[in-house]
Homo-oligomer: A and B are copies of this chain.
Amino acid sequence: MDFFYTNLIYLIPVFGLIGIAVMAVKAAWVVKQDAGDGDMAQLAGYIADGAMAFLRAEWKVLSYFVVIAGLLLAYSGTTVDTSSPVIAISFVVGAFLSAFAGYLGMRIATKANVRTTQAARTSLAQALKVSFTGGTVMGLGVAGLAIIGLGSLFIVFYTIYVKNVAGASVNGEAMAKALDVLAGFSLGAESIALFARVGGGIYTKAADVGADLVGKVEAGIPEDDVRNPATIADNVGDNVGDVAGMGADLFGSYVATMLATMVLGREIVSPDSFGGIAPVLLPMVIAGLGLIFSIVGASFVKINKETDSVQSALNIGNWASIILTAIATFFLVNWMLPAYVFHMKRDELGGGMLKGGSIEFTRGDVFGAIVVGLVVGTLMSMITEYYTAMGKRPVLGIIKQSSTGHATNIIAGLAVGMESTVLPILVLAAGIYGSYHFAGLYGVAIAAAGMMATTAMQLSIDAFGPIADNAGGIAEMSRLPEEVRHRTDNLDAVGNTTAATGKGFAIASAALTSLALFAAFVGVAGIEHIDIYKADVLAGLFVGGMIPFIFSALAISAVGRAAMAMVEEVRRQFREIPGIMEYKAKPEYEKCVAISTKASIREMVAPGLIALITPIIVGFIFGPEVLGGLLAGVTVSGVLMGIFQSNAGGAWDNAKKSFEKGVEINGEMYYKKSEPHKASVTGDTVGDPFKDTSGPSMNILIKLMSIVSLVIAPHLQKDLSHNPRLQREIHTQSMVAPVAKPVSKI
């Protein structure tokens, strides 16, 4: 163990490399599968081309953004601190890796979809294998690149700022600077996530709503019908929004939780273990173990017979990775941490002396906090499933209220969405309380890190859904035999459930990540309190609470506008291209793809700017404490709006789907095309932007605003935050004896 003990820091990127190696093998396997022929291959080609067209357009805008933001970061860095230009490099690397992970995932997803369709001609087991392997490529790619990037940059910055500097303390300002610079990596990743998630969300729903409104409602042709000019855009959207968007979202959460835990870990005094940096390394090592056990868990996901349950196979894999990671983490924490550690305040660290007021906790407490994180993530997924699953009370209530028309269906769905915030918030509040109880703010952060440990597995399951959905679409459009479609439908149904639980997990992770970042921000900004009894902080809380509302309004309206443009284009093609309806002429799919692409790129700018610029303005004009109030407001309101919108949308969706099998209301059976079913379609359409655009955007919003605040935190002037005339605080110096000596670097 001695080798590991000395070189642990250099082993972290190795975990990532293992993930990437396994990913490469799996990707090669997927590409090797039979891609089918004729119509299938052609349609899959359209989808892949559309997806790449979107990525290229997005990257063009993003490259401008990254260059400008990078230059600004570098320039503002030079004005306050000569070493800060380095943060720009960190930022660019983060942005590049996040975009690259999205590219890999989407590339393989657009290959796996048609290969899944082809495999479904053979057996369900084979179709699951292809689609899930496609998903694992995304999962392993995201996690692997994140660990390689963060781990390598940390080695570089640690070497430059701490190890090679005489007299630098691993708990002191030198390490703080290394981590401040590292924060740029997370900022880069989350900025890409914003555009991927919001842009992707607008793309997919503009195409979906537009395709449905003309195709299903006006022309009366089925969903995924090859005659609908918007159908390719719709299928591209699944990849753009659900694969690349979700991937970027979780890439951001994964990196940010590690970073926040590292920032808080610097304040943990852990003498004689790994040169005192064990609390900083811990979150990255946990993530590394989680990645390895995700690979193990993924190998359990398989079925043998047509009648085996796909859902059970996924559950077994998921649980295996979680439980194995938890067990491994127990030993890891015991190996890495001393029996007792202390938490110090940032101000107390620089001078080499520890003041009083520190809290002390054991390594067992740290493990306890990690378990809290795992439990919170699991419960959040379960609650989300309850509120959006077919056959449960919430969805049944919406079905019943569909019988009196469109309006009561909408009212029921909105009420379900609002009600569904109760349990998640109680779980989250208990999670905050519990993890803090175990290990203070470090506990809150490490809980988030624990929850995110198996991100590779979660994302594999998430990405499986849209691949299966696409596979079904291709089967439908190519008019393949009934049994093939039956198999892809089976996979797609499971994919709908995993989409719902995945959203619950994504919101929970965003919430805990934001809290960890929030705690890190307060430490880095060097403030003692965020006191909402102060009027300006309270005003910040109000303004922060409002931001998710305007962000949602912008996202929803963007979908509305883009969908109207799509509707007009589809109507135009039906009118001007004769023979579409008779399969004699091909619709101009690329025109619809272009509309979605253009709209999503254009419409993501305004919400993006709000998220990026608000913390900067508030922080520099009103100071860090008001900015803290703003962040708290954004986080609380964003989590609530995220849960409300995602769950309302999910419940409406499944209420509508229930009619396809037939539902009983007051003793009568209703099916597709009945009046209650039409009402349920209205709810589903309202729910589309809720659950796939504005709802999930809340994750990015709260994380991005927190990470921007963390990055600017060292540059904010504390005394700006209050009008000195109104200053009621009495600042006194406390004089308490030091409780521990600072520890030296490796």
Q: What's the nearest-Cβ distance from chain B to residue A204, in Å?
A: 15
Contacts of A426 in B (CB 8 A): 543, 546
Q: What's the nearest-Cβ distance from chain B to residue A298, in Å?
A: 34
Contact assessment for A637 and B213 in the assembled complex, using a CB-CB cutoff below 8 Å: no
Contacts of A633 in B (CB 8 A): 636
Contact assessment for A421 and B682 in the assembled complex, using a CB-CB cutoff below 8 Å: no
A357 within 8 A of B: yes
Given contacts A422-B550, A444-B535, A736 and B730 within 8 Å (CB-CB): yes
A522 within 8 A of B: yes
Oligomeric state, in copies: 2
Cα–Cα, bound, A718→B677 (Å)? 56
Among A141-149, A407-415, A482-490, A575-583, the stretch that binds chain B is: A407-415
Q: What's the nearest-Cβ distance from chain B to residue A423, in Å?
A: 10
Contact assessment for A533 and B542 in the assembled complex, using a CB-CB cutoff below 8 Å: no
Contacts of A7 in B (CB 8 A): none
Cα–Cα, bound, A595→B552 (Å)? 38
Contact assessment for B549 and A640 in the assembled complex, using a CB-CB cutoff below 8 Å: yes
A419 within 8 A of B: yes
Q: Which of B416, B515, B686 contacts A538 (CB 8 A)?
A: B515
Cα–Cα, bound, A540→B535 (Å)? 19
Contacts of A40 in B (CB 8 A): none
Q: In residues 403-444 of chain A, which contact B (Cβ within 8 Å)?
A: 404-408, 410-412, 414-416, 418-419, 421-422, 425-426, 428-430, 432-433, 435-437, 440-441, 444
A16 within 8 A of B: no
Cα–Cα, bound, A358→B727 (Å)? 8
Interface secondary structure of A, over-half rule: helix
Contacts of A636 in B (CB 8 A): 541-542, 545, 633, 636-637
Given contacts A536-B433, A636-B541, A682-B410, A725 and B359 within 8 Å (CB-CB): yes
Q: Mark A518-561, 1 if CB is under 8 A from B, else 0.
A: 01001000001111110110111111011001101110110110
Q: What's the nearest-Cβ distance from chain B to residue A728, in Å?
A: 5
Chain B's closest residue to A410 (CB) is B686
A628 within 8 A of B: yes
A164 within 8 A of B: no
Contact assessment for A729 and B357 in the assembled complex, using a CB-CB cutoff below 8 Å: yes
Cα–Cα, bound, A719→B492 (Å)? 54
Contact assessment for B529 and A419 in the assembled complex, using a CB-CB cutoff below 8 Å: no
Given contacts A419-B550, A640-B546, A730-B357, A407 and B685 within 8 Å (CB-CB): yes
Q: Which of B554, B637, B730 contacts A640 (CB 8 A)?
A: B637
Cα–Cα, bound, A330→B437 (Å)? 52
Contact assessment for B357 and A728 in the assembled complex, using a CB-CB cutoff below 8 Å: yes
Given contacts A538-B432, A560-B412, A730-B736, A418 and B357 within 8 Å (CB-CB): no
A77 within 8 A of B: no
A726 within 8 A of B: yes
Q: Mark A354-374, 1 if CB is under 8 A from B, else 0.
A: 001111000000000000000
Given contacts A410-B686, A644-B549, A686-B410, A535 and B432 within 8 Å (CB-CB): yes
Contact assessment for A213 and B404 in the assembled complex, using a CB-CB cutoff below 8 Å: yes
Q: What's the nearest-Cβ distance from chain B to residue A727, in Å?
A: 8
Contacts of A532 in B (CB 8 A): 530-532, 628-629, 632
Contact assessment for B549 and A418 in the assembled complex, using a CB-CB cutoff below 8 Å: yes
Contact assessment for A553 and B425 in the assembled complex, using a CB-CB cutoff below 8 Å: no
Contact assessment for B546 and A422 in the assembled complex, using a CB-CB cutoff below 8 Å: yes
Contact assessment for A734 and B725 in the assembled complex, using a CB-CB cutoff below 8 Å: no
Contacts of A422 in B (CB 8 A): 546, 549-550
Contact assessment for B414 and A542 in the assembled complex, using a CB-CB cutoff below 8 Å: no
Q: Which of B356, B430, B682 contacts A406 (CB 8 A)?
A: B682
Contacts of A552 in B (CB 8 A): 415, 418
Q: Which of B345, B428, B539, B546 contacts A728 (CB 8 A)?
A: B345
Cα–Cα, bound, A685→B550 (Å)? 24
A639 within 8 A of B: yes
Contacts of A217 in B (CB 8 A): 405
A186 within 8 A of B: no
Given contacts A531-B529, A532-B629, A356 and B549 within 8 Å (CB-CB): no
Given contacts A357-B728, A542-B429, A419 and B685 within 8 Å (CB-CB): no
Chain B's closest residue to A556 (CB) is B415
Q: Which of B405, B412, B628 contacts A533 (CB 8 A)?
A: B628
Contacts of A533 in B (CB 8 A): 519, 522, 528-530, 628
Q: Mark A699-734, 1 if CB is under 8 A from B, else 0.
A: 000000000000000000000000101111110101
Cα–Cα, bound, A422→B689 (Å)? 21
Q: What's the nearest-Cβ distance from chain B to residue A716, in Å?
A: 15
Contacts of A528 in B (CB 8 A): 533
Contacts of A644 in B (CB 8 A): 549
Contacts of A560 in B (CB 8 A): 401, 408, 411-412, 415
A564 within 8 A of B: yes
Contact assessment for A535 and B419 in the assembled complex, using a CB-CB cutoff below 8 Å: no
Contact assessment for B632 and A428 in the assembled complex, using a CB-CB cutoff below 8 Å: no
A567 within 8 A of B: yes
Cα–Cα, bound, A639→B542 (Å)? 9
Chain B's closest residue to A550 (CB) is B422
Contact assessment for A686 and B407 in the assembled complex, using a CB-CB cutoff below 8 Å: yes
Chain B's closest residue to A422 (CB) is B550
Cα–Cα, bound, A359→B730 (Å)? 12
Cα–Cα, bound, A350→B639 (Å)? 43
Contact assessment for B556 and A418 in the assembled complex, using a CB-CB cutoff below 8 Å: yes
Contact assessment for B732 and A429 in the assembled complex, using a CB-CB cutoff below 8 Å: no
Given contacts A437-B723, A726-B436, A632 and B538 within 8 Å (CB-CB): yes
Contacts of A429 in B (CB 8 A): 539-540, 542-543
Cα–Cα, bound, A557→B422 (Å)? 15
Contacts of A734 in B (CB 8 A): 730, 732
Pairs of residues from A and B, 4 with the lowest C-beta to C-beta distance, nearest first: A436-B535, A407-B685, A418-B553, A429-B539
What would be 16 A-B contacts, judged by CB atoms less than 8 Å apart?
A: A407-B681, A410-B410, A415-B553, A415-B557, A425-B543, A425-B545, A429-B542, A433-B536, A437-B726, A440-B726, A515-B538, A529-B533, A532-B632, A541-B632, A545-B545, A682-B682
Q: Which residues of A contact B (CB under 8 A)?
A: 209, 213, 217, 343, 345, 356-359, 401, 404-408, 410-412, 414-416, 418-419, 421-422, 425-426, 428-430, 432-433, 435-437, 440-441, 444, 515, 519, 522, 528-533, 535-536, 538-543, 545-546, 549-550, 552-554, 556-557, 559-560, 563-564, 567, 628-629, 632-633, 636-637, 639-640, 644, 681-683, 685-686, 689, 723, 725-730, 732, 734, 736
Given contacts A546-B640, A636-B636, 13 further A-B contacts (CB under 8 A): A209-B407, A213-B408, A404-B567, A408-B560, A408-B564, A412-B557, A414-B556, A429-B542, A429-B543, A433-B535, A522-B533, A533-B628, A549-B644
